[in-house]
A and B are shown apart, each in its own frame.
Chain A
Amino acid sequence: MKKSLVLLLALILVIGSFTACGDDADTGDADATEVKIGVNYELTGAVATYGEASKDGILMAFEEINAAGGVNGLQIVPVTVDNKSDAAEATSLATRLMTQEGVAACLGPATSGNYMATIPVAMGNGIPIISASATADDGVTVDANGNINEYVFRLCFNDSFQGVTMANFASENLEAKTAVIIQDNSSDYAKGLAKNFKSTFTDAGGTIVAEEGYLSKDKDFNAILTSIKGKEFDVIFLPGYYQEAGLVIKQARDLGITAPILGADGFDSPVLLELAGAEALNDVYFSNHYSSQDQDPLVQDFIAAFKDKYGTEPNAFHALGYDLGKFIADAIERAGSTDPDAIKDALAGTTNFVGVTGTFSIGEDHNPIKSIVVIGLEDGVQATSVKVDPK
């Protein structure tokens, strides 16, 4: 009885392998009029919002570049795939893009975990990958032994830079002595920020009065807010994304908590205002790559073009995605070829790239060196901004 069972297994595996091979033929080199770029993002699943936004920004940048004649006369052809917010899927798709589609470079995924899962694929295939939003401190551009991951780049700050900046902002600019941390415990980004905020803030003589946590997609924060309401504190540090942060701010203000609320670039979205309402958004400060009030024509043109195309104001993921699209094109142009190694060298040698999210160079460790802006909101409008340069 076992025989047929195993025979079947054998048969199926063989047939499966052959059918899978069927479409192998079209993986020849891209012809000389185009260059393929992989876009590997979370388009469905738990973190689809971030993936979608990044992808929209990237595709908009590519369209602009192609309309202007492409890079080195080549049209950019994005190969967009959906990794379902799943690390194994992201790995499999990165492999597919690199070995089957013949991409010159891969963009994404948006979240650190999924991005990290694709790093060994990039290193193995020798094709550069870049993420605009993988902020984890460890294990991204530098591996556990301190070696640079040669083919891995990013365009965003890492968690420690933002966490430290906001802690200094709290103790220096706001003269806060005590703070409460409310963090998104299901996000490594939020946890990284909280860790760095906590150590810097306590080193500066401050005390963390309470640490509360929530999970992404939570909607009811009344319980944790009611419990901190009875405590004495100067500021709330709220690392997390706008979907929950907007609701936390609204519910906190509704409960009568008036302390300043600090956050990071996860706050940057027009949705924050929609969720929290203008009157709740007073005394709210967050670190960001740029200010949408910046009168630099580059920023204003981007915002106008984005509204034109998608009908909404851009958020941080859109802006970073847009810069990512421009950034890879810039590297291909400077490399003068579509050879992944040449692109990798061009990426590593980037100096003073001018983007919407700031002007930056790529450092030794493949992280961008760029300044940070701390934005203050008054009635939901960006009213103040303080620029902090990297150490």
Chain B
Amino acid sequence: MRTLTKKNLLILGSILLTFALVQVLVLVGILDSFYEITIATICINIILAVSLNLVTGFTGQFSLGHAGFMSIGAYVCAIISMRIGTVGGFLLGLLAGALAATVVGILIGIPTLRLKGDYLAIATLGMAEIIRVVFLNLEITNGAAGLNGIPRYANWLWLYFFTVMAIVIINNFLKSSPGRACIAIREDEIAAESMGINTTKYKVIAFAVGAFFAGLAGGLYASYFYFLKPDLFGFMKSVDILVIVVLGGLGSLTGSVIAAILLGLITTFLQSFTAVRMIVYAVLLVVIMIFRPQGLMGSKEINDLLKFRFGKKEEKIE
């Protein structure tokens, strides 16, 4: 295994190129601060969607509580970076928030992941509601009024860095042995178990990784939008994330990325139609699900499609 293959260099190049391109567009003023907010929202949504896809799309565990993990990351990051007002404090807060979300994810995952399908969905929904009620009542989170004046360190550089990091880590996780185990659980839990896979263990691992990145996204959100209150992380937020994942295709990371960008652009576009925006959004959801229930990408990645197009040969183990 060589690390500096042509392929990896190409990836690195395109990552840097994208970054540079957007950075230049911002600097010359083509992308003004409004589009920056749109791009930031998209980045945060990509992290959330990719991490939920790991749990729901790849491991097959239906979670409706992703906003709960996000809120933990957001509040921890906000509280720490409000005490330590430096970039270091922000990064420490991000890490602490993501770890706190992971710990809660493991604690909740161990008992609830025994549940299946819709029952798990409802249990995770309930868990997210409980987390929200706790934040509503805590002194340190300032209750219903929320936290204001969180120092803003998250910028395009950090957002892009963490987005790429989340995608790469989750992509690599899926290619690893625990990742394969997770996919096996999705395909057939009983078969996986009889093959000697400790299903609970891998489900909890997937849940923990998902929670980690949801917490990270929450921290970035807190820092970028400098304002938090418990209402932001209600049931609707979890649904929004799930919609991105399903729209992109369960089990397709590129699908989640595409759907996050697409929905980001759609909501921006719909902002001009104040009166009917939510109605249009609702109709779009229903229509897309009726005509393409497997989502835009199904469970394929974009390179599967490209391969088909160019007839390129590459080993594929999936």
Contacts and interface: CB of A to CB of B under 8 A. Distances in A.
A113 B146 contact: yes
A305 interface: no
Given A10-B14, A43-B274, A188 B22 contact: no
Contact of A81 (B21, B221, B274): B274
Interface in A1-56: 1-10, 12-14, 16-17, 19-21, 24, 43-44, 46
B33 A99 contact: yes
Contacts of B254: 4-5, 8-9
Closest 3 CB pairs of A and B: A4-B303, A188-B145, A10-B18
B37 interface: yes
Given A4-B302, A139-B149, A99 B229 contact: no
A95 B146 CA distance: 21
Given A92-B37, A92-B38, A5 B145 contact: no
A10 B17 contact: yes
Contacts of B268: 20
A307 B11 CA distance: 64
A117 B302 contact: no
B227 A13 contact: no
Contact of B225 (A44, A87, A191): A87
B176 interface: no
B271 to A, nearest CB: 6
A117 B227 contact: yes
A193 to B, nearest CB: 12
Given A1-B301, A5-B302, A113-B229, A13 B18 contact: yes
B278 interface: yes
A352 interface: no
A303 interface: no
B34 A96 contact: yes
Contacts of A86: 232
A44 B258 contact: no
B143 interface: yes
A91 B143 contact: no
Of the four ranges (under 10, 10 to 19, 20 to 34, 35 or more), the interface on chain A belongs to 35 or more
A6 B14 contact: yes
Contact of A3 (B7, B144, B277): B7
Given A5-B303, A20-B268, A87 B261 contact: no
Interface in B74-109: none
B217 to A, nearest CB: 13
A128 B302 CA distance: 46
B145 A136 contact: yes
A144 interface: yes
Contacts of A337: none
Residues of B contacting A: mostly: helix
Contacts of A44: 277-278
B64 interface: no
A24 B33 CA distance: 12
Residues of A contacting B: mostly: helix
A187 interface: yes
Contact of A7 (B14, B34, B38): B14
B30 A21 contact: yes
Nearest to A143: B149
A129 to B, nearest CB: 14
Nearest to B15: A6
Contact of B11 (A2, A21, A96): A2
A304 interface: no
A265 interface: no
A100 B38 CA distance: 13
B148 interface: yes
A185 B136 contact: yes
10 contacts: A5-B171, A6-B15, A8-B258, A10-B15, A10-B17, A21-B31, A113-B148, A113-B227, A120-B226, A185-B143
A82 B226 contact: no
B192 interface: no
B39 interface: yes
A139 to B, nearest CB: 5
Contact of B164 (A6, A116, A144): A6
A117 B32 contact: no
Contact of A9 (B32, B144, B225, B257): B257
Interface string B205-249: 000000000000000010001111101100000000000000000
Contacts of A386: none
Given A3-B303, A13-B18, A8 B10 contact: no
B173 to A, nearest CB: 12
B136 A186 contact: yes
A3 B7 CA distance: 6
A95 B227 contact: no
B17 to A, nearest CB: 6
A81 B38 contact: no
Contacts of A82: 271, 274-275, 277
B188 interface: no
A93 interface: yes
Contacts of B265: 16, 19-20
A116 B226 CA distance: 10
